[in-house]
Structure 1
Amino acid sequence: MTRRSLREFLYSAASIGSGSSSVRTLSPSPSLNSMDQSLFEAQDMIMKWDANSSAYAKITSLFHSNRKEGKEYLRRVGELRKVMNAIVAADASSPKLVHAQKLMETAMKRLEKEFYQILASNRDHLDPESVSGRSSARASTSDSEPNDSEDDEIQRADESIAEVERVSSLAMSDLQSIAECMISSGYGKECVKIYTLVRRSIVDEGLYKLGVERSISAHKVDWVVLEMKIKVWLHAARVALKTLFAGERILCDHVFASSDSIRQSCYSEIAAEAALSLFSFPESIAKGKRAPERMFRMLDMYDAISDLWPEIDAVFSDEVMASVRSKALSALVKLGETIRLLLSDFESAIQKDTSKTPVPGAGIHPLTRYTMNYLGFLADYQDALGEICADWPLNVPESLPEGLLEYSADSLNSPTSAAAARLSWLVLVLLCKLDGKAQHYKDVAQSYLFLINNLNYVVAKVQGSELGFLLGEEWIAKHAAKVKQYAPKFERVAWGKVIMTLQPGEASSLESINDSEARVRLARFNFAFEEAIRMQSGWSIPDLKIREELKATIAQRVVPAYRSFYVRLRSSAPQVEMVPGSGVKYAPEDLVNHISHLFSGSSVSSGHSSSHSS
């Protein structure tokens, strides 16, 4: 209908009185009443931008071409809506209502097109990262303190950010205005359909670019491949929550600010399925094969979900998104359950270790190295372990090896966190196992050396990792003292016979024994000393400090006593070294030299030494 026909239609409609037998005749140019005027002006604007009536309107965007006219277009549509309400109130059967309804349909089609064009043409400016990071980007540049050489660059950056923000803000404002107009006009469903179609594809594309897979069967994927996928997921989860889903939430809340129900349902349509697939991955990993090497990646995922929970709770706060929160919580719980099972498996593996072959040289047992390295890594996840182990009581046996009874109560009651208690218990399980493995050595002295080496390794690992913080200085001091308690026991068993050969009887002194008895004692010493050197030449003390301290203590106990005999014999025969049968094979310095070569890991069979590092 043209402007002229509409004007004629309005005049003729206005001239008919309701129930009156007379017909009021309008002059050729009378003033229209306010309702008819609004209807006419609305038609004027709507038909101007009707793509079916104008080739220009067909190829041009109303809001891009002239935002001021775009705002005017929305105002005219709003007035048209008021006119329709007034007509319905006055006479629902009026032919004006049919005409106004057709105009509204034409206007809504135009607004649908404008809404889609704004969404599509502003993808770069409305991407979630830009929307969620606009204020933070500006803050990061304004908070810096540039020097003069950086002023120009920062100014250009500020201008660039400002331009991006300007375009983004205008687009968001126009989308909001159109959405409010369409919703209030009864076309909210059409508006939401367009919005979800465009924005859902952006979310799906975003997750795809981040490497998130929609579904995966952890049972069928090799661990090396699975570990790579977990690393990808750990990065993707943080980006998705902090930018992708957060940005979409901000945009959706802004565009559909006029209706909470539409805003919530629209965001659910866009993000729910993608978010559910994001949290399905860790849940699938938790249900996969249990193996010790998977523990740390599961803890990484548990940590990630825990750290991101504020974002999860905020971004998916609506009731319609409860399924996403539930899925994230389910993934967290299942990861926690699997980690508990892995900890139990780890404890059981320590207890069930059946290796009975003594470690050559009484060095560090492979079980000690593996367990302490594993526990050292676990200590880095103390927060997660604290949550996981909080309501998980320790299964402490009634009896422990005699040498460890004194630690059972203190070690398990003193830690201030569930993580500390659990790790302290696992260390104790290892110490119990080592106590049993020490019994596999036929030589008692070697068993003490084994305990010295392994307990010292445990203490060193605790001190050098987060375990030290968890178990505390008291624990470290107590177990370090235990290492020192083993040293005198080792010296007594390993060198007691050697020292006894030099000690005079209770009723005699070194000066009172004759040369013949002195030579007999010296012969016994030589045999015992050489036997001790022979046996201990292949023994190892990897820790340099303990090695040197132990050798110094042995030398202090052996060499002075030997020197007394040496001096005694030389006083009776100055050239005693040269007298056949004197029994003197070593000068005191020779003993020091022999002792100084002990505990470096030399092999008796091979005749060469190999150094070990703790």
Structure 2
Amino acid sequence: MTKRWILATKLIAKALVVMQRQLLAQNCGAFNRFKGDYFMAVAKQSIVVLLKFADGFTSTQSPEKLIYVLELYETLSSSAPGLLHLFTGPHTELISRQVPVVLAKLERALRTATGALAIKIQTESSQAEGVGVHPLAEYTMTCVELLAPHRAALDMILADGGEGERATSFGGLVAELIAGLERSLEEKCGLAFADGSPSQHLFLANNTSFVLSRAADADVTSLLGDEWAARHRSRLEQHTARYLQASWGPVVACLETAGGKPAKALAKFNAVFDEMHGSQEQKYMKLDKSVRYTVDDVAQSLSELFEGDAALLCT
């Protein structure tokens, strides 16, 4: 419905301009005295219908409808100057009063919806299953990507929020959403790996890497700042190093405790590697076991655990 309203608003604005031009250019005889009033009546009725529809969304506060209401707001905001230019006399005053009222109500609804989105991310209750990217991380960063094209409108809407609002800019909103996501993931990690399993570091590394990548894709890293990016890259490196040390340190140690016997060292390495990789795979498809692992085999196996990101292993 909002898509149709947006299209109708654009078409009506163009149609009214053409209608006004044609009426002014034509000699309609006795009707010349009334054609101005006739046009004003048609234009007023058209705008009132559009405003009534938009006003119906001013009570919408659902995060799921945030993008639709935001697009509606942007269309009305950008179309308003051209529409108001069509009116003269008392009609101008009437429409000029109604449009700002509807826009202000939409702004309040959008601020409430962004706050509700932040709360939803912070309080989402699903548990961590496996060590891969959590659905909440995917949901949050998808929201960021969808909101990114509307950053100019959100900057204006959030800046006018007044005292007590959480974020006062689009960048502030993104930072709040990601911070809420990370707090939620930390809680889920603590519950899922309460036994202190090294997998907790793998879970956090995969999700931190995902957030960094999607933030870059949405072109919001610059809004978050160099310090934010550096802190998250450092956090990623720490989780990766802790996981590798806790899980694979004993495997590597097999190569150092074979008493100078390479064949025995490699056999023990293969056996311990198979056991450790099998326990860490969780939801991933198990690799076919081989008698001997090459360097590429090891890199590929570990890459699967890190959501296919072999770059994490370059340490």
TM-score w.r.t. structure 1 length? Answer: 0.42
Q: Which residue of 2 aligns with 1:423?
A: 174
Q: Distance in 2 between matches of 1:491 and 1:394?
A: 44
Quick check: which has more Rg, 1 or 2? 1
Distance across 2 between alignment mates of 1:514 and 1:280: 84
**How far off its partner does 1:467 sit?**
2.4
Question: Unpaired segments of 5 or more residues in structure 2?
Answer: 28-32, 285-289, 311-315
Q: Which residue of 2 aligns with 1:595?
A: 298
User: Structure 2: how far apart are the matches of 1:592 and 1:482?
Assistant: 27
Q: Which protein, 1 or 2, shows the higher relative CO under an 8 Å CA cutoff with sep ≥ 6?
A: 2
Give the match's secondary structure for 1:315: coil
Change (3 A) 1:593 1:422: closer
1:175-234 deviations in Å (ceiling 9; x for gaps): xxxxxxxxxxxxxxxxxxxxxxxxxxxxxxxxxxxxxxxxxxxxxxxxxxxxxx322211
Q: Is the 2:189–2:203 contact (alpha carbons within 8 Å) kept by the matching residues of 1?
A: yes
**Partner Cα separation in structure 2 for residue 308 and residue 248 of structure 1:** 17
Give the Å deviation of 1:251. 5.4
- Aligned residue for 2:137? 368
Given residue 217 of structure 2, which amino acid in structure 1 is its aligned partner?
Answer: G
Give me the CA root mean square deviation: 3.8
**1:236 paired to 2:8:** yes
Instruction: Name the CA distance, whole Å, in 2 between partners of 1:524 and 1:537.
Output: 20
- Kindly provide the amino acid, as one letter, of the partner of residue 245 in structure 2: R
Rounded Cα–Cα distance in structure 2 between residues aligned with 1:383 and 1:458: 23
2:213 corresponds to: 460
Identify if the C-alpha distance between structure 1 residues 496 and 323 changes in structure 2 by more than 3 Å, giving closer, same or farther.
Answer: same
Is structure 2 residue 277 aligned with structure 1 residue 533? Answer: yes
Number of positions where the alignment pairs a residue of Structure 1 with one of Structure 2: 296
Contact kept? 2:221, 2:229, Cα under 8 Å: yes
Q: Deviation of residue 432 (structure 1)?
A: 1.5
Whole-Å separation in 2 of the counterparts to 1:264 and 1:321: 13
The question of whether the paired residues in 2 share the 8 Å contact of 1:280 and 1:327 is answered with no
State whether residues 251 and 272 of structure 2, in contact with CA within 8 Å, keep that contact through their aligned partners in structure 1.
yes
Residue identity (%) = 22
Classify 1:262/1:491 alpha carbon distance in 2 versus 1 (closer, same or farther; 3 Å).
same
Alignment map for 1:144-183 (pairs within 5 Å): none
What pairs with 1:441-590 in structure 2 (closer than 5 Å)? 441=193, 442-468=195-221, 470-472=223-225, 475-500=228-253, 503=256, 528-538=272-282, 590=293
* C-alpha distance after superposition, 1:534-577 (max 9, x if no partner): 3123466xxxxxxxxxxxxxxxxxxxxxxxxxxxxxxxxxxxxx
1:239–1:521 Cα change, 3 Å: closer
Aligned-residue offset at 1:385: 0.8
Is the CA contact (8 Å cut-off) linking 1:452 and 1:487 kept in structure 2? yes
Partner of 2:114: 343
Offset of 1:343 from its aligned partner?
A: 1.2
**Runs (5+) with no aligned partner, structure 1:** 1-228, 397-411, 505-509, 541-585, 603-610
TM-superposed deviation, 1:378: 0.6
Instruction: Choose from 134, 151, 158 the match for 1:382.
Output: 151
Q: For 1:514 and 1:269, how far apart are their aligned partners in 2?
A: 97
Deviation sequence 1:468-524 (CA, Å, 0-9, x none): 4543555434423332232111111112233445557xxxxx9xx698xx9999998
Return the match for 1:325 from 88, 93, 96: 96
CA distance in 1, matches of 2:165, 2:103: 24
Q: Which amino acid aligns with 2:84?
A: D
Farther off after superposition, 456-465 or 441-450: 441-450
CA distances 1:81-109 after superposition (whole Å, capped 9, x unpaired): xxxxxxxxxxxxxxxxxxxxxxxxxxxxx
In the alignment, is the contact (CA less than 8 A) between 1:264 and 1:320 conserved in 2? no
